[in-house]
């Protein structure tokens, strides 16, 4: 029996999230089908971060155990074999690595990075449809970055987690929150990216943070409003949940 660590990329648009469910397409379901197609074994994979419907990943991590009998397989060949059964899906195994039998994709993760993408411009999206949050109004990205620094550090994030979040403890530490803005055309269009890192996040935490910082970017909220939202420890005190299509799970460190 060998434990394998997979690093996975996917576009989440047409899937009901990572976690396997009956009768709907999921990333986990397609990966497990591809593994079955390659080795004819029903293998359950364990993932680092379950992403919601419509959320993407460029560096998701999962592990599984494979009993391949007396045959040998290396990581390169394993990734290639799984990918060969994913050709009709926007899901790819970037890397497969043999790991110790006690490696755990979820419990051993000590840092996660998410990116959230916004395109602000008046006209509809063409090329980036389903891969960014489209906001028609101008945003002040510098103000969003500055207000975001209020959330960096160790806080009770009750105001920023989904009311259905099942984590026992609402305290989390954000180690980095950076917002970078680039001009994309001569008509005021901007590509705004949030990079956020921490050991772990609550359910919808990143999307609720972005939904709140967009209020700042639109000039509706100031830094004090963000401070008050954090202190209120009440989901209703913070901004709305940003849509899933802008969110990417980028990197997990072990």
The reply to whether 175 belongs to the active site is: no
Return the ∠ at Cα 87 (arms to 84 and 89), rounded to 5°.
Answer: 130
* 3-state SS assignment for residue 9: strand
x/- map, 174-213, its own copies, by CB under 8 A: ----------xxxx-x------------------------
Please provide the distance, in angstroms rounded to a whole number, between the alpha carbons at the two ends of the chain. Answer: 22
Q: Segment contacting its own copies (CB under 8 A): 33-41, 72-80, 139-147, 154-162?
A: 72-80
x/- map, 125-164, its own copies, by CB under 8 A: xxx-x-x---------------------------------
Measured between alpha carbons, how far is 78 from 39 in angstroms, rounded to an integer? 10
Q: Would you give the DSSP letter of residue 244?
A: G
Look at the block and give the residue holding tokens 């359950």: 44
Measured between alpha carbons, how far is 21 from 3 in angstroms, rounded to an integer? 24
**For strand 153-156 and strand 171-183, is the pairing parallel, antiparallel, or unpaired?**
antiparallel
Residue 2 interacts with its own copies (CB under 8 A)?
no
Q: Decide whether 94 or 180 has the Cβ nearer to its own copies.
A: 94
Q: Decide whether 95 or 138 has the Cβ nearer to its own copies.
A: 95
Residues 200 and 206 sit within 8 Å (Cβ to Cβ): no
Residue 119 interacts with its own copies (CB under 8 A)?
no
Residue 87 interacts with its own copies (CB under 8 A)?
yes
Q: Which residues bind its own copies (CB under 8 A)?
A: 7, 9-11, 56, 58-59, 76, 79-80, 83, 86-87, 89-95, 121-127, 129, 131, 184-187, 189
């Amino acid at each position: 029996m060998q434990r394998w660590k997979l690093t996975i990329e996917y576009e989440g648009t047409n899937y009901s999230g990572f976690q396997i469910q009956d009768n709907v397409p999921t990333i986990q379901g397609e990966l497990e089908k591809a593994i079955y197609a390659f080795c004819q074994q029903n293998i359950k994979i364990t993932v680092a971060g379950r992403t919601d419907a419509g959320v993407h990943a460029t560096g998701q991590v999962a592990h599984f155990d494979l009993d391949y009998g007396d045959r040998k397989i290396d990581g390169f060949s394993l990734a290639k074999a799984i990918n060969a059964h994913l050709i009709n899906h926007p899901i790819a195994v970037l890397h497969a690595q043999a790991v110790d039998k006690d490696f755990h994709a979820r419990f051993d993760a000590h840092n996660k990075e998410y990116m959230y993408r916004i395109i602000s411009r008046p006209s509809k999206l063409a090329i980036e449809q389903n891969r960014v949050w489209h906001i028609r109004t101008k945003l002040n990205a510098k103000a969003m970055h500055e207000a975001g620094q209020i959330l960096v550090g160790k806080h009770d994030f009750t105001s920023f987690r989904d009311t259905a979040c099942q984590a026992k403890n609402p305290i989390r530490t954000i180690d980095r929150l950076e917002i970078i803005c680039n001009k994309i055309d001569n008509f005021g269009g901007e590509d705004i990216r949030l990079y956020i890192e921490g050991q772990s996040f609550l359910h919808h935490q990143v999307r609720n943070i972005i939904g709140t910082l967009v209020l700042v970017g639109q000039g509706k909220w100031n830094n004090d409003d963000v401070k008050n939202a954090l202190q209120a420890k009440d989901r209703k005190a913070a901004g709305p949940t940003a849509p899933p299509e802008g969110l990417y799970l980028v990197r997990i460190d072990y």
